[in-house]
Structure 1
Amino acid sequence: MTATLDAPPAPVTTRPASVGRGYRFELVKLVSQWRIRLLVLACWIAPALFVGAVSQQSDLPVDTLFGRWMNATGWAGPLVMLGFAGSYALPLLTSVVAGDVFASEDRLGTWRHLLVAVRSYRRIFAAKALASLTVIFVLVAGMAVSSAVGGVVGVGNEQLVGLDGHLLSPGAAAGTVLLAWVVALAPTLALAAVGLLGSVALGRSPMGLLLPAVVALAMAVAQLLPLPVALRFALPTYAFISWEGLFTSPAQLGPVLISVAVCLVWTIGATALAYFLFLRRDFTNLHYDGSTRRTTTVGALPLAGLIVVAFAVLAVATPSLGSGVTKEKVQQSLSTAFAHLYRLQTDELHRPAVTEAQLGATSDCTKGGGMVAQEGPGNDWRCVVSWHLPGVAATGQAIYQLDVTSDGRFVADGDGPKEVNGYFQVRTPIGDQPNPMWQFDGNVELL
């Protein structure tokens, strides 16, 4: 009798989980968290309530860009919300979502289970990055849609006054507001990439969660300083400001395109650094809190180098080593805005129509009473605007006090005569109406 041995069973091979399956899994994990659900609910409801409530008040946030127009058009509300979001909300949202997407596995000690299930570092990284990006997009879209709905329902689909005083039709205002929120997505993505980098590099450390907010705060403080224009544009958070140039005629597209390009470079660079560190993580250490040396050499220094390189490129490509705020630019911006707003006031008073060309508005501005250099930001700009009306020999003049900020925005405060810009209301045939020339916002193109 001959004994026979059965052949050993063939080894069972399982394919690694696909990126699509991993993405769905990570998305479900994110959405199942109570804080993410609360953020989604808040972003889709709170802006509408805020804009609708503030638009009905007599005391408007006039110190905020477009805040003075919130009770005149529903399209001012989304822009006020965008200014708030760029300064506070969006950096915090990226911290909560992207800054925690990898660190949560360290806190829960679930890396070994995830690695066994997926068996691919690359797929894990791609799934987590895409899931966090999806949630951030939903949050930003919610803020934009909600604030727009709240403004239009509360005030109405009316025309919007741009930063140079020209009027945007309701359709044009809607499109430009949407484009402004799209521009704000660029710095949000850059901060999200920084969040991914911090979440990978710092592990369980809470600094990984706070990194996007800390970076955004530091750059916001830097924007308040009298930096050279090239250095200001080299910071990715400048895109939270550059959208303002979309509301002039013609639109100031140069700063917008430059700031978006810088943000995209930061997004790609920070994501690539996060991916590089993730592939070299030691997942056997259950108490990993990041490597200070590797975080500095692979994370912080390359990003600082991006700022230096961007500054050098912009300094060579554009004449932008000064503040960008010059006497000629201030005068031109003020004259353009005054001419547009004068026509708006003329319509309110039911006077004969006049064009900007017929007015021929010019401005003569001095800074610090002529005792300092006639350039740079400050609240000591004093301007005299002159214009002519058809058939009138006398020259009209109005005085404005200007507060010009370092990012080029200015607030013009009328100082007489009372019939033109010296009072916050004008008397019209249908009663007293807000005077558009009493105080208004403007924008100096820094490039």
Structure 2
Amino acid sequence: MTATIAGERPTVDDGQAGRARPVSVARGYRFELVKLVSQWRVRLLVLACWIVPALFVAGVSQQSTLPVDTLFGRWMLATGWAGPLVMLGFAGLYALPLLTSLVAGDVFASEDRLGTWRHLLVAVRSPRRIFVAKVSASLTVIVLLVAGLAVSSVVGGVLAIGGHPLVGLDGHLLSSGDAAGRVALAWLSALAPTLALAGIGLLGSVMLGRSPMGLLLPAIVALAMQLLQMLPLPVAVRLALPGYAFISWNGLFTSPAQLGPLLIGVAVSLVWAVVATALAYVLFMRRDFTDLSYDGSGRRALTAGILPLAGLLVVTVAVVAPATGIPPLSGSGIEQDKVQSSVATAFSHLYRMQTQQLHRPAVTEAQLKSSAACTKGGQDDGEGAGNDWRCVVSWHLPGVKATGQAIYQLDVTPDGRFMADGDGPKEVNGYFLVRTPEGDAPNPLWQFDGNVELLPTSKG
């Protein structure tokens, strides 16, 4: 390649030339890492990621108005483990795509803007080692930023509220230790789609040169993935998108854990990360560094960047489809029996919680025998997302002949999450407070979040 003109012929005499060797990857990595952390914006990002989440979670946890439209937001007053999960939902939508854009999306383009490629090649003497060093340094900074978001939000929540048990998405109570482990796994799983965006950022930085589009590429791709997740896509297509792992971590908070979608989402994200980084490497090694006016290659960006990633999406859909057990181009995964089962299970657990609040005789889920009859838009065989789901929950109490019933209006999103809003009777779920011997307390049956697994079976 033409870069070897600068990279393999150092300007020294013949006796020294025979002894000249490329700089080691370790030295190149340290050099690139120092370059990154010396930038004021990277230092500011690190500081913000390790401080701001703690302040945000602690501040919101002290407010009377909570982000109930966010997953686990309604429990931020009850336990410090809800705050990190609220922060994770926000980070997956906004923070992590932006961070990868500012770090990975600029690590190669900055050399184009400064015109320092020839100096770097002369110093290191190996384009391959330059690529490895830059990628390793940028991934190190990204992992540091993600760790800061996770640790800071956990510290803020636990110090402000305490490590009390957390209510899962099926209504069962997670002990403090169990909640801590699952929160850690949720943040760890979010690293996979973050690495996928980082790989896309590296590809854009190499492919588009000093163009600002390279810097914005991870954020644009993340936004496109979010918009697609809001559409009624087939399950195979939804799971084949690299950003699905930003959503599927909620399966960790059911019993048994819904690991199928999470594992598929993590695997797909890692494949995208590897392929995007490999494409960036191929483009980087083919580049002509003697061209000082280089500003990206539109044709090469199409043939070596966009088209391979589009082909990867087709391949992942074809591979994921057999794993889901659903035809690749049909099936939302949201079916009537799944919705009924999820609602009845969550109601059983939360009814027991309400029973404890009111100091009534203890009852088990087996004794309640809860069941739900759900319709969508008035149709008995409803399927798919929508806010027109209506469920009638029935249960039995020991020694009571009459069957208890409660009505819920459901808003089910395309990714399987739902919010159930109580519609009576008032004594059960018709009011947001319940009167206990200790005073008024939040009614766990008034509104609750749940999750419908999109795959045909659940494997915990």
Instruction: Give how far 1:370 is off.
Output: 1.8
- 1:211 aligned to which of 217, 221, 229: 217
> Which residue in the other structure is 2:346 paired with?
337
C-alpha contact (below 8 Å) 1:203/1:290 kept by paired residues: yes
> Which residue in the other structure is 1:5 paired with?
none
Alignment of 1:34-53 (within 5 A): 34-53=40-59
Q: Aligned equivalents of 1:67 and 1:11: distance in 2? A: 65
> Which residue in the other structure is 2:8 paired with?
none
Q: Aligned equivalents of 2:312 and 2:393: distance in 1? A: 43
> Which residue in the other structure is 1:444 paired with?
452
SS in 2 for 1:353: coil
SS in 1 for 2:392: strand
- 1:10 aligned to which of 15, 40, 43: 15
Instruction: Give how far 1:172 is off.
Output: 0.5
> Which residue in the other structure is 1:3 paired with?
none
Alignment of 1:137-216 (within 5 A): 137-216=143-222
What is the TM-score when the length of structure 1 is the normalising length? 0.97
C-alpha contact (below 8 Å) 1:47/1:150 kept by paired residues: yes
Instruction: Give how far 1:242 is off.
Output: 0.4
Q: Aligned equivalents of 2:436 and 2:323: distance in 1? A: 51
Q: Is 1:349 the equivalent of 2:358?
A: yes
Deviations 1:116-143 (A, max 9, x none): 0001011000000000000000100000
Query: Which amino acid counterpart does residue 440 of structure 2 have in structure 1?
Result: D
> Which residue in the other structure is 2:233 paired with?
227
Q: Aligned equivalents of 2:321 and 2:192: distance in 1? A: 22
SS in 1 for 2:378: helix
Query: Which amino acid counterpart does residue 115 of structure 2 have in structure 1?
Result: G
> Which residue in the other structure is 2:283 paired with?
277
Query: Which amino acid counterpart does residue 329 of structure 1 have in structure 2?
Result: K
- 1:404 aligned to which of 409, 412, 426: 412
Query: Which amino acid counterpart does residue 360 of structure 2 have in structure 1?
Result: R
Q: Aligned equivalents of 1:236 and 1:298: distance in 2? A: 19
SS in 2 for 1:399: strand
C-alpha contact (below 8 Å) 1:193/1:267 kept by paired residues: yes
Q: Aligned equivalents of 1:146 and 1:243: distance in 2? A: 19
Query: Which amino acid counterpart does residue 17 of structure 1 have in structure 2?
Result: V
C-alpha contact (below 8 Å) 1:106/1:287 kept by paired residues: no
Q: Aligned equivalents of 2:16 and 2:128: distance in 1? A: 25
C-alpha contact (below 8 Å) 2:235/2:324 kept by paired residues: no
Query: Which amino acid counterpart does residue 160 of structure 1 have in structure 2?
Result: L
> Which residue in the other structure is 1:56 paired with?
62
Q: Aligned equivalents of 2:414 and 2:238: distance in 1? A: 10
Instruction: Give how far 1:316 is off.
Output: 3.0
> Which residue in the other structure is 2:247 paired with?
241
Deviations 1:275-304 (A, max 9, x none): 000000111122211111111111111111
Structure 2 gap segments, 5+ residues each: 1-12, 456-460
Q: How many residues align?
A: 439
Q: Aligned equivalents of 1:110 and 1:10: distance in 2? A: 27
SS in 1 for 2:388: strand
> Which residue in the other structure is 1:426 paired with?
434
> Which residue in the other structure is 1:4 paired with?
none
Name whichever of 158-167 and 310-319 sits farther off. 310-319
> Which residue in the other structure is 1:386 paired with?
394
Query: Which amino acid counterpart does residue 15 of structure 2 have in structure 1?
Result: A
C-alpha contact (below 8 Å) 2:393/2:405 kept by paired residues: yes
Q: Aligned equivalents of 2:294 and 2:335: distance in 1? A: 52
Q: 1:9 to 1:304 in 2, by over 3 A?
A: closer
Query: Which amino acid counterpart does residue 418 of structure 2 have in structure 1?
Result: F
- 1:369 aligned to which of 360, 371, 378: 378
Instruction: Give how far 1:10 is off.
Output: 3.3
C-alpha contact (below 8 Å) 1:399/1:417 kept by paired residues: yes
Query: Which amino acid counterpart does residue 359 of structure 1 have in structure 2?
Result: L
Deviations 1:387-445 (A, max 9, x none): 00111111000000000000000000000111110000000000000000100000000
Q: 1:9 to 1:251 in 2, by over 3 A?
A: closer
Q: Aligned equivalents of 1:9 and 1:343: distance in 2? A: 84
Alignment of 1:295-310 (within 5 A): 295-310=301-316
SS in 2 for 1:386: strand
C-alpha contact (below 8 Å) 1:75/1:158 kept by paired residues: yes
Q: Aligned equivalents of 2:144 and 2:294: distance in 1? A: 31
Instruction: Give how far 1:366 is off.
Output: 0.6
Q: Aligned equivalents of 1:179 and 1:9: distance in 2? A: 57
> Which residue in the other structure is 1:288 paired with?
294
Name whichever of 362-371 and 35-44 sits farther off. 362-371
C-alpha contact (below 8 Å) 1:204/1:287 kept by paired residues: no
Instruction: Give how far 1:11 is off.
Output: 3.7
Q: Aligned equivalents of 2:244 and 2:320: distance in 1? A: 14
Q: Aligned equivalents of 1:9 and 1:68: distance in 2? A: 73
Instruction: Give how far 1:9 is off.
Output: 7.7
C-alpha contact (below 8 Å) 1:121/1:279 kept by paired residues: yes
SS in 2 for 1:325: coil
Q: Aligned equivalents of 1:441 and 1:99: distance in 2? A: 36
Instruction: Give how far 1:323 is off.
Output: 0.5
> Which residue in the other structure is 2:334 paired with?
325
Deviations 1:42-95 (A, max 9, x none): 000000000000000000000000000001000000000000000000000000
SS in 2 for 1:10: helix
Name whichever of 92-101 and 347-356 sits farther off. 347-356
Q: Aligned equivalents of 2:106 and 2:128: distance in 1? A: 18
Instruction: Give how far 1:359 is off.
Output: 0.3
Alignment of 1:75-90 (within 5 A): 75-90=81-96
> Which residue in the other structure is 1:264 paired with?
270
Query: Which amino acid counterpart does residue 93 of structure 2 have in structure 1?
Result: S
> Which residue in the other structure is 1:123 paired with?
129
> Which residue in the other structure is 2:403 paired with?
395
C-alpha contact (below 8 Å) 1:65/1:441 kept by paired residues: yes
SS in 2 for 1:369: coil
Q: Aligned equivalents of 2:409 and 2:197: distance in 1? A: 37
